[in-house]
Structures are given as structure tokens and as C-alpha cells.
A = this chain, B = another copy of it.
């Protein structure tokens, strides 16, 4: 029979994950903390967070020194443009009229993933800055995932494609 192994040694990546996750001001720091935990598991090195962001260590757990949380007042178009200029593809996670299905989208290695606020999603001023938009297919009510759940799924899909 299978035997549980808690906290297995993780994969060693041949180079640091080139996935940056940008989180706008969130309604709930619980959701932000859940994103931080999932990002740590995915080997993400940088999360950009905004506003009154505060990570709850009980939820986020120990994510280690490899994951940097970079605070900003807001998620501004200027910030996004700086990342694009450095060669990152700006990919939003949002239900829109032109989103790719998450499982069909080929993530560039250098992905700057923008996620949405729980209630407002990605604001129009940020939507216009995106290179691409992806969304998770829905098969039933309530027709949308929790924001942190959706972010974790998107990071999983990125990792599935980039196993290096």
C-alpha cells in the first residue's frame, strides 16, 4: 500500500522560476495569503502586492527566503510597462471577450501574471495593458472560482508547461 510522505523534497529547478504574480489590492488578506502559499509551492520568486496587503503567516505558512513579496501602493500601468520592457509577457487571468482557455494557452517562460480583485476582477486600466488574457473553463455554477483558487490553478498550469 502507498505510504504517506509529508513534505517531500521538492523538485530542484535548473534555473529560477520566471513567473511573477501581480496581485492588485485585494478585498481579503486571506486570499492574498493563500496565493502566497500556493506561489511558494510553485517555486515563484516574486509576488507584487498592493494597498494594505498583509500576509497571514498561519495561512501562507513558511514560504522561505526565495519568495520575495514586493509591496506597491497600486498596480499601475507604469509598473506593468516596466516589466514588459524587460522582456516579460503580461498575461491577465480574467473572464473576457477574448481570453484564451488556460489549458490551451502556451505560457512564455517569462510570464508576468496579473490576477484580479475578488469583486472587481482586473480593472479596465490594467486590462488595456495586457498582452494576453487567459481564463479557466467553467462547467457549472457558480461560474467563477474564488480569486485565490483561480490564481493557484493558473500557477499550476504554468508549472505543468515549464517543468525545467
Contacts and interface: CB of A to CB of B under 8 A. Distances in A.
Interface of A: 1-8, 10-11, 13, 17, 34, 37-38, 40-44, 59-64, 66-67, 92, 94-99, 103, 121-122, 124, 127-128, 130, 133, 135-146, 148-149, 152-153, 156-157, 159-160, 163
A38 B149 contact: yes
B128 A37 contact: no
A116 to B, nearest CB: 9
9 contacts: A2-B92, A3-B97, A3-B127, A4-B127, A10-B140, A11-B139, A34-B146, A137-B163, A156-B156
Contacts of A130: 2
Contacts of A156: 136, 153, 156-157
A33 to B, nearest CB: 10
Contact of A34 (B66, B121, B149, B157): B149
Q: Which of the listed residues A3, A139, A143 has the most CB atoms from chain B within 10 Å of its own CB?
A: A139
B139 A17 contact: yes
Contacts of A92: 2
A38 B5 contact: no
